[in-house]
Homo-oligomer: A and B are copies of this chain.
Amino acid sequence: MTTPGDARRLERAAGTEAVIELTAVLVAVTGEEPRILTVEDGKALPSGPFASDHRTLQMGLRSWVERQTHHPLGYIEQLYTFADRDRRPEGGGGRVISISYLGLTREGRASGEHVPGWQSWYRYLPWEDWRGGKPALVGRVIVPQLGRWAAKAPDGAARRARTQRIHATFGSDSATWNEELVLQRYELLYEAGLVPESGQRGATALAGEAMMLDHRRILATGIARLRAKIKYRPVVFELMPPSFTLLQLQRAVEALAGQRLHKQNFRRLVDQQGLVEETGGVATATGGRPAKLFRFRRSVVAERAVSGTKLPLARSP
């Protein structure tokens, strides 16, 4: 299928065989917390060698997840393929290609025996949670440390570039904070040697639990993708129970975005889009006036799934 000797072809190299590993970021939202399925006592994402007995990668992943969680996997999306040599511990063998996926589901309610694997993703990336305002960690630890790293830059231009990156990613207040830059922030911390994964000396533990290999980077990629996605595709649905109140829906979006939203505007946009309909029931245990229960309008959701719709992401109260 490829003609050898063509000058215009990517050059042939010694080892073109590689080990393929799949890694999954499986997300659920429970109790106003965004959670991911973990293994190894919370130190790793579920992953393993690629089982080639399925027609597509996605199908293989889907069937595996459904067997594990006893829940249909509503949504799957490929995240990224990592094959960077420097992110792997030095080992003789061939290169490892790790293909990562994002999956949305609901937390398996006691899916068998020991399923302690669901962890809040903010356990690993605590600086991403601005729901309670700017986290103290950012202002007191992260930005100062990054500032020191920027000051250590070899020359003025590099120093300015670093400072500018810090500002662009970590901003200063909630107005400049861009919740989608999850990966850029993690990469910055990595480069600055502020996460243990980077393996540098002086790797200040900082905060946030580390994960094996580059799993925290994959997690950051997944969160970033999901945060971008909820703004224009109705994917939160996959994370919600069959019926819910509008506040519950809002809390789920907030959990993912790591930001508070303006309640009235949230509701306005949700029903402007026509994505939900009343079930007729009401939730009484709200602590105030009972809230109407809603369900997603499957037909509209399917329609918008392709053409694109917007979920609101107005700012906080």
A residues whose Cβ falls under 8 Å from a Cβ of B: 1-3, 6, 8-20, 22, 24, 39-40, 46-53, 55-57, 60-61, 64, 68, 78, 80-81, 83-86, 89, 94-95, 97, 99, 117, 164-165, 168-169, 178, 180-181, 184, 212-213, 302-303, 306-308
Please, could you name 17 A-B residue pairs with CB atoms under 8 Å apart, sorted by A? A1-B89, A2-B48, A9-B47, A9-B48, A10-B46, A10-B64, A16-B49, A17-B94, A18-B50, A52-B85, A52-B95, A56-B84, A81-B99, A97-B97, A164-B303, A168-B307, A169-B306
Distance to closest chain B CB from A183 (angstroms): 11
Contact of A307 among B22, B39, B178 (CB under 8 A): B178
Q: A83's closest neighbor in chain B, by CB?
A: B57
Asked if A81 contacts B84 (CB within 8 A), the reply is: no
- Complex Cα distance A182/B304, Å? 16
Chain B residues contacting A99 (CB-CB under 8 Å) are 81, 83, 97
Q: Give Cα A65–Cα B311 distance, bound, in whole angstroms.
A: 39
A78 and B97 alpha carbons, distance in the complex (Å): 14
Interchain CB contact under 8 A, A84 and B55:
yes
Contact status A17-B19, CB under 8 Å: yes
Q: How far is the CA of A16 from the CA of B49 in the complex (A)?
A: 6
Which listed residue (B10, B15, B212) contacts A47, Cβ 8 A? B10
Cα of A238 to Cα of B6 in the assembled complex, Å: 27
* Cross-chain contact B13 with A184 (CB below 8 angstroms): no
Q: State in angstroms the CA–CA spacing of A20 and B10 once bound together.
A: 12
User: Pick the contact of A11 from B11, B14, B64, B169 — CB < 8 Å?
Assistant: B64
**For residue A117, which residues in chain B have a CB less than 8 angstroms away from its CB?**
8
Which chain B positions have C-beta within 8 A of A14? 52-53
Task: Report whether B3 and A40 are in contact in the complex, using a CB–CB cutoff of 8 Å.
Answer: yes
Output the nearest chain B residue to A161 by Cβ-Cβ distance: B302
Contacts of A2 in B (CB 8 A): 47-48
Q: Which residues of B contact A55 (CB under 8 A)?
A: 84-86
6 smallest CB-CB distances across A and B, nearest first, come from A10-B48, A13-B51, A16-B49, A9-B48, A81-B81, A56-B84
